[in-house]
Amino acid sequence: MVLQLRVYVPEHPLVKHWLAVARDQNTPSVLFKTAMTELGRWLTYEAARQWLPTLETSVKTPLAECAATFIDPSVPIAVVPILRAGLALLEGAQSLLPLASTYHLGLARNEETLEVSCYLNKLPASFDPATRVLILEPMLATGGSISMAMAEITGRGVDPTLIRLISVVAAPPALQKLSQNYPSLNIYTAIIDEGLNSGGYIVPGLGDAGDRAFGTY
């Protein structure tokens, strides 16, 4: 069986609205962060379809017994925000996955060479093989950071088919790299943009998500 990377771009008016707010250069930092929170929430909602493990049982209503479906609490769920920009998506994701464990991964890109280095790794030594992992990485540009993150996570025992990747803006170079190395991965993004400029930034993109979210630009 030939596996193929799946990239989902939800046709949802709220996703489109908050993406537009985030793209606007005149959006103040506090509203930009709100937009990122909402995008994290709605994209996580979409990613959770047929991904969260469930239990089939029954409950008694005030009138009768009926079939019921619950999220299976025995299957671990992990959220991995890629610092620092991934933190802007975390609140929205956590609102839907309140029982998930959060593991921070700090990656920095050299703006001249575009090489990626890791400055913080709070991932466990190994994951339970059944763990569902949600990666939060707002910008998929060159693919360097997300490739390092995927290597760290899969190297700790996570099946790529159980990983869901949330981004706000994705570019072809990153998607091509992920398709080659992790063809079973599922990605949820608000938009796929046309490409990168000479500095490795997505065009039209939305600028530096970390700086805009935390007011450091």
Binding-site members for uracil are 202, 207-209
* 1 contacts: CB under 8 Å, gap ≥ 6: none
Q: How many Cβ atoms sit within 10 Å of the Cβ of residue 77?
A: 22
- Single-letter code of the amino acid located at 78: A
Q: What does each C-alpha distance from 66 to 55, 59, 71, 75 come to in angstroms?
A: 14, 6, 17, 24
By DSSP bridging, strand 77-83 and strand 105-109 are parallel
Q: Which residues are annotated as a binding site?
A: 84, 109, 137-145, 202, 207-209
As a whole number of angstroms, the distance between CA 126 and CA 113 comes to: 31
Instruction: Select from 166, 95, 108 the least CA-distant residue to 136.
Output: 166
Q: Which residues are annotated as a binding site for 5-phospho-alpha-D-ribose 1-diphosphate?
A: 84, 109, 137-145, 208
According to the 3-state scheme, what is the secondary structure of 82-101? Answer: EECCCHHHHHHHHHHCCCCE
Angle at alpha carbon of residue 162, lines to 159 and 166, rounded to 5° = 120
